[in-house]
Amino acid sequence: MHYFTPSTPDGVIQDIFFDAGNRFTCTAKFELPDSFRQRLDSGATAVFAARSRICRLGISISPTVAPRIEGNHALLTLTGRAIIPSYHLEGLLQPCLVHGVNIGRLVACDPTLRCGADETHQALTDRQLLLPRGYSLRADGAVEFPPQFCRYEFPAPINRDQLFAVLNRHYGKELLNALQVRRTVETLVLHPGEGLITSCAMFLHRHYLVLDTEPTQSAEHLSARVLDPVETRLSKVFLEFENTSKAVVVNPRARAFVYRADHRDYPARTLVSVDGLAPADRGRASFDQIESLFSTARKLAGDTPGRVVCEYSEGPVAVGDIAAGLTSGSGAAQCFFHAPRHALQRTPEAMRRRAKDLATSHRLPTDRPITLFSEYFPDTVEFPELLSCAAAGHLKALVFRQASAERGPFFSERDHIRMADLADFGTEIYWSNPLLKHVARLTQKDRRAFFVPEDRVDEFQDSVVMAVYGSVMDLTDTDQHRLAGMLARFKQLFGTSLAFLTGGGGGVMKHVSELGTQLNLMVGSNYLENADQNIDSTVGFYQMFQGGSRHMRQRWFEVARFHLFCIGGVGTLEEIGLTLTDIKLGLLNREPIIFFGRENQDLYWNALAAQLGRMVESGRAPRWITDNMLVTDNPDEAIAFYQRVLQIA
């Protein structure tokens, strides 16, 4: 089940005007899906929610009137200004806030879906939402909560090019994360007319929050006011305040109403007709039928690897019919050809010969949508043709059976880039995996894509991931017991949406896989060639990397919100260094980090903690490293530490 906020796509600026004081007025246009209009017709209110990155820049922007509905779109007049003088943005807004900039969205707030006090209290009790420590629940169902004692600043003034990129480029949020730094403070003070960017920790699973932007005795929250389910599972949820009163405000609190999120099943895109089978059986049926297709194709091609191209239909592709059509020379399969892989010379001459052969003999259809079945994931020579087909909107799906002719189930760095390129053009990628005997769909989560069995895609999309690292050597019985207790306590804290991600080997990683399965939680793996891998059929999501892609593999751990380092060796030590560096560079959030395990009566990571402390004291590492770090083998200490660092109830 997928939970989401009922909203429009981002609206864009149609026209904008600045006055002499750098205040602006703009008109934004929003496309209205039919489902959104139906909600408005049923009594929902359209609420404007500004883009988070705009408000994080200290830009206050708010509607002057209600949206004007005109057919399948809405127009909204907004006014705004920069409210944090230390950001020095006043003279930069005019060349950067221009026609076409995404400004925010409209959210349909249905009063019948707003939670009352009793329903909100039950959701908090059931851990369906986690709010900051110190929250209060009012009789009308509103929640009030404090931010963390921090404020976000720019160490150096942001320049015009940077501001333009933050507002207009797809990587703008990442750039803003790198430019804007967190400063810990003892109190949050807002003088009259001042603005403040701060944050809190919050975890929303099946609800969304609408922050109150009306002036209060505390402070007014800016218009980045909607916190979405699933996406809001962070220790750094930004809050933006402005003091519109004539008196100083100290330690402002946010106020919000809780709404039940909309939900829907993820669309089933299984490639084969499996009517009458239970969901648990469909993956196996799909795999068996696709294996039959490839077997038929190999026989027709004289046992050489090949491709099968079929016309794409909106319904499931009946793979058995395609196989029968190949044998009889009719049916859905439009063409079949083989691309031999037995002579894979990497010389320029050999590569050009293969490319010429493909261009003259084995062209893909270019006049209709197709699904392509390929024995191997496309290589350097084959890929340009596929990319052109995808760019034209004709390659709807790619189904392959083996990752590589030379390296078995492991992908190269180039392969991962090719997957991303095809996915960018909307091509769905499926792996009919003979090793795990299932069909897995390439599924995106937080900028990284994993292969996920078809019947578990929704579970993966809705999960919050914890990465667990450690040695391939077995833990002691005592440490195994303590690790089991710790993972169980994490499930109690974060709920059933928790998932674990490991490196896929033996030892600690095998223990985590087994414990996660026992807890009925999803477990994923980033498998590495040339390592002691434990490729388990129970794996819920996974990716494969050739040995030369070891450092690229680390990027796939970015999907994790939290990191737990168990007893390990130099490989684990490298992963610790990479994780801490990624946090320092703003690639990962400052989440609590736990070093777990005991050896010979001593906590295993004590010496590392001492070394990190020495780096901090000498100014060679940031203070937050020691503030966000715990060395322990006690599950109760670990949970208390998480609650303290995240400041969640």
- Sequential DSSP letters for 342-358: S----SHHHHHHHHHHH
Tell me the two tokens of residue 56: 């994080």
Query: Alpha-carbon distance 300 to 305, whole Å?
Result: 10
Query: Alpha-carbon distance 20 to 7, whole Å?
Result: 34
Query: Alpha-carbon distance 614 to 229, whole Å?
Result: 40
Q: Would you list the domain boundaries of the chain?
A: 2-264, 279-457, 463-646
Beta-sheet pairing, 562-565 with 593-596:
parallel
pLDDT tens-digit readout, 541-596:
999 999 888 889 999 999 999 999 999 999 899 999 999 998 888 778 888 999 99
CA distances (Å), origin 335, targets 130, 197, 274, 279, 569: 55, 59, 24, 32, 52
Which residues lie below 8 Å from residue 207, measured CB to CB, with a gap of 6+? Answer: 115, 123, 128, 129, 229, 258, 259, 260, 261
Which helix (H) or strand (E) segment holds residue 644: the answer is helix 635-646
pLDDT tens-digit readout, 402-429:
898 788 899 999 999 999 999 999 999 9
In this prediction, residue 120 has a pLDDT band, given cuts at 50, 70 and 90, of: very high
Query: Alpha-carbon distance 433 to 453, whole Å?
Result: 10
CA-closest candidate to residue 442, choices 404, 397, 405, 408:
397
Q: Is the pLDDT of residue 221 over 70?
A: yes
Reported as half-sphere exposure (CB side, CA atoms, 13 A), residue 571 has a value of 21
Query: Alpha-carbon distance 450 to 430, whole Å?
Result: 11
pLDDT tens-digit readout, 492-542:
988 888 999 999 888 899 999 999 999 999 999 999 997 667 788 889 999
Phi, psi of 222 (to 5 degrees): -70, 180
Q: Is the pLDDT of residue 340 over 70?
A: no
In this prediction, residue 276 has a pLDDT band, given cuts at 50, 70 and 90, of: low
Find the length of the chain.
Answer: 649
- Residue 226 three-state SS: strand
Alpha helices in 255-337 (DSSP H): 279-300, 319-328
Which residues lie below 8 Å from residue 247, measured CB to CB, with a gap of 6+? Answer: 192
The CATH code belonging to domain 463-646 is: 3.40.50.450
pLDDT at 311: 61
Q: Looking at domain 2-264, does it have CATH number 2.70.40.10?
A: yes
Strand partners, 145: 254
Query: Alpha-carbon distance 83 to 242, whole Å?
Result: 8
Q: Specify the DSSP class assigned to residue 559.
A: G
Mean pLDDT of 161-189: 92
Query: Alpha-carbon distance 232 to 246, whole Å?
Result: 33
- Which of 119-133, 208-222, 434-448 is least confident? 208-222
In this prediction, residue 85 has a pLDDT band, given cuts at 50, 70 and 90, of: very high
Query: Alpha-carbon distance 132 to 636, whole Å?
Result: 19
Mean pLDDT of 435-444: 92
In this prediction, residue 330 has a pLDDT band, given cuts at 50, 70 and 90, of: low
CATH domain 279-457 topology: Cytidine Deaminase; domain 2 (3.40.140)
pTM of the model: 0.86
**Sign of the dihedral through C-alpha 647, 134, 254, 465:** positive
Query: Alpha-carbon distance 265 to 273, whole Å?
Result: 19
Cα–Cα–Cα angle for 440, 446, 450, nearest 5°?
20
Residue 503 near residue 469, CB atoms below 8 Å: yes
Tokens 């030590």, residue located: 573
Q: Is the pLDDT of residue 7 over 60?
A: yes
pLDDT at 302: 66
Which helix (H) or strand (E) segment holds residue 278: the answer is none
- Which of 46-50, 197-201, 290-294, 297-301 is least confident? 297-301
Tell me the two tokens of residue 471: 């040695």
CA-closest candidate to residue 506, choices 471, 465, 546, 551:
471
Reported as half-sphere exposure (CB side, CA atoms, 13 A), residue 619 has a value of 0
Which residues lie below 8 Å from residue 95, measured CB to CB, with a gap of 6+? Answer: 160, 164
Helices (H) and strands (E) in the chain, counts: 19, 38
Query: Alpha-carbon distance 12 to 29, whole Å?
Result: 6
